Structure 1
Amino acid sequence: MTAAASQTQRVPFWDNARFACVTLVVIGHGVQRLIADFDGALVLYLVIYAFHMPAFAIISGYFSKAGPPSVKAMRRVLTDIVLPYVIMESIWTLVQFLVEGSSEFNPSQPSWTLWFLLALAIFRLVLPYLALLRWPLLISVVLSVGVGYFANVDSTFSLSRAIGILPFFVLGWKLREGALVDEWLRRPTGSTLIRILAGIVLAAWTAIVIAHRDTFRDVDLRFWFFYSESYHGLGEDVWWAGFVRLGLMALAVLLSAAFLVLLPRGRNWTTALGRRTMVVYLLHSFVLYPIRESGFLQSDAAAQWWVLPVVAFCLALSAALATEPVARLVRPLIEPRPSWLFADGLPPRGGAPRARPTSGAGPRED
């Protein structure tokens, strides 16, 4: 979802992975209203939610830099994350007012999917500091497990959720440092054995969910996958609750790896769409929201018949929102260029920075 580091040539695999992950997000949100009435929807939901946001965080971390932030990097946190968040949160406030009559504008409590934008901002701010430490991945895991014991760390500015999934972001960054992923991508074709094992891993998790669906429903396992509640809020105010989160984090890494291994590495119809996944992520909720709130999908008798049509609709929606015409239409909202906001203006994307018109110095380093 995050913009890749500048490269002379994009790697198709990562664009394919971005689109696959964002499509899982859309499907998960689409079937959520069906899980109370149909076990099949619950199984699909739990299989997806066990790893789809951790996989997103891993990909985001893979393309992140841990060095001291440049002026350009700091500006992009504002223009690519903070400003779109404020704009989309404002739109959400208007939509909720029209649908529910709610008129409260509270940017400290992100609406629905917008939490990930704030999480990305937090990741980018803390990564240079974590990179200074000897064991950044281990420390991020300790933070993630430990934050669950503090009920006062909540969803305000997505803090609890950002800390919760921070290890996946750091893991992605560490993978970029190693040669394992690059070596795998350089192979003409992926190892058949590895793909078979990856398929077995995903199938095994699906089988476990099917076999224990009633238990997982009773313990509200889906809420553990949000990484947003304290253990007390999850109803597990016990000393060993952190080990549950640790186990679920290990499961998420395993499932993410299996999922990514099975994705195509060459160019296909999803490759170009994978360049515009932020558009899909931010806009799909506005399409699904009125459907969810209408109660149209909440019917005991019809729930089982709606799963496949909803999945098909979500696939089509994800593909449609990732097209260039849609991206061009909403670009001012998702990629604002507010030159008036910065003291020395804002150069065009990819362009050279401009000198301050009031100074006699040359162009400033950006």
Structure 2
Amino acid sequence: MQKDIKLNNVKGVLIFLVVFAHLLGVSKSGLENMIEFIYSFHMPAFIFLNGYFSKRPSIKKVINLILLYVIFQTFFCVYRYYAGNFSVIQFTYGRPHTHLWYIVSLSSWYMLAIILKKINTRKILKPALLILLLGVSFYSRFYADEVIEFIKMYYSNMHTQTLSILRTFVFLPFFLAGLYCSRDLMSKIYSLLDKFKFKLFFTLAVSALIFIILDFHHDKFDQLFFGFLGYQKFYIENHSYTGIVFFHYSLAMLGIFLLLNIVGSGKNKLTQWGENSLAIFLFHMIFVFPLFTHNSWLNEQNPDTRLVFCFTMALGITSILGSRAFNRIVKYIIYPMKYLELFYARLFNQTDKNDEYKKRHIV
């Protein structure tokens, strides 16, 4: 039970960082370092946990995610028009709105988990498939631009963000790491830091952060961490593709490791946020999208003021959307498959009762 509470607390921290980072992105001048730091590990950590909780994948989960994507992609197509982001209402489903890429990628990862479970008994095929997937994931951004240009010959609207295809490959290793992380291994990760001096790991984390700030350009590194653009967008002179991507993955794994060790296992507000992270994730952009259009007043503030404003606003948004009251209201929307099943069960049950009644009263 303690482990479950701890992981919910970790999810609580991560979902707050998702909201916080999106708010920072509205007016990020002078706050690039903070955004880079958050993006270096927060989505990899979320994906790792989703993999860890996917030990029993099912097609129902995949269908639920597809329904969620259709519902919220449709909603935000309309909402962003009224928020001033778009000049016309246009229903597009090929390129997800900002945060909805994660829903699309997650459905793909769940499908992959189902396939991997099916071939669990084949000892040679499964390791070979995993090695192939990891290799494709690692080098996906290196060949992304060429592959996209080739596909454009047949589908002109193709982009690396189309159905979140590139991000699905880029972040796949974190999902697989979580999927094959056992409870025993997770327990060891929790306690491993206790065997070393915290100062050592703190020094490593700070050193990595300094390396980010001093050795890379903000615009280049943003594209690396976001994961949706090819190598040409984050090419850095005197640094190889292999070295840059390996650094990305290593920094993310370090962030996941430190987060799992630092976050406590006591029940608190973070626990509630973690339990209700799906609702927070799906709805928080309602507050963010209007700011992209009406942010002139925010741009006039100095970075410190904007940082405090975004942090405070993120706390408020996360608290409202993570509340039990809000989740009771939206539970029918965020778990559509579950309530469709209940609806059909009641419908068929009522039909059976009517048929039985008719049979009993046939003259």
* TM-score bin (small chain): 0.7 to 0.9
Q: Are residue 122 (structure 1) and residue 128 (structure 2) matched? A: no
| Residues 8-23 of structure 1 mapped to structure 2, 5 A cutoff | 11-23=4-16
The aligned counterpart of 1:362 is none
The aligned counterpart of 2:76 is 92
SS in 2 for 1:271: helix
- Structure 1 spans left out of the alignment, 5+ residues: 1-7, 359-366
- Structure 2 spans left out of the alignment, 5+ residues: 120-125, 149-158, 354-363
Note the C-alpha offset of 1:110: 0.4
Pairing partner for 1:103 from 89, 93, 96: 89
> For 1:347 and 1:147, how far apart are their aligned partners in 2?
47
Q: Deviations over 1:20-69 (max 9, x none)?
A: 11111111111113323x1xx11111110111100000000001126xx6
Q: 1:109 to 1:184 in 2, by over 3 A?
A: closer
Note the C-alpha offset of 1:145: 1.9
Which of the pair is proportionally richer in helix?
A: 2
- TM-score relative to the length of structure 2: 0.80
Pairing partner for 1:150 from 134, 144, 152: 144
Note the C-alpha offset of 1:233: 4.4
Pairing partner for 1:62 from 40, 52, 75: 52
SS in 2 for 1:134: helix
Q: 1:311 to 1:239 in 2, by over 3 A?
A: closer
| Residues 76-91 of structure 1 mapped to structure 2, 5 A cutoff | 76-79=61-64, 81-91=65-75
Deviates more, 1:144-153 or 1:237-246: 237-246
Q: Are residue 286 (structure 1) and residue 286 (structure 2) matched? A: yes
The aligned counterpart of 2:203 is 200
Q: What is the letter of the counterpart of residue 216 of structure 1?
A: H
Q: Deviations over 1:158-185 (max 9, x none)?
A: 1111111000000011112x62213455
The aligned counterpart of 1:361 is none
Q: Are residue 74 (structure 1) and residue 64 (structure 2) matched? A: no
Identity %: 20
Larger Rg: 2
Pairing partner for 1:112 from 98, 106, 113: 98
Paired residues of 2:80 and 2:289 also in contact (CA < 8 A): no
> For 1:347 and 1:228, how far apart are their aligned partners in 2?
43
The aligned counterpart of 2:170 is 164
Pairing partner for 1:179 from 180, 184, 208: 184
Number of equivalent positions: 331
Note the C-alpha offset of 1:137: 5.1
- TM-score relative to the length of structure 1: 0.80
Pairing partner for 1:140 from 133, 155, 160: 133
> For 1:22 and 1:232, how far apart are their aligned partners in 2?
30
> For 2:196 and 2:297, how far apart are their aligned partners in 1?
41
> For 2:246 and 2:302, how far apart are their aligned partners in 1?
37
Q: 1:197 to 1:282 in 2, by over 3 A?
A: farther
The aligned counterpart of 2:153 is none
Deviates more, 1:167-176 or 1:327-336: 327-336
CA RMSD of aligned residues (A): 3.3
| Residues 319-358 of structure 1 mapped to structure 2, 5 A cutoff | 319-337=319-337, 345=344
Deviates more, 1:307-316 or 1:193-202: 193-202
Note the C-alpha offset of 1:225: 0.6
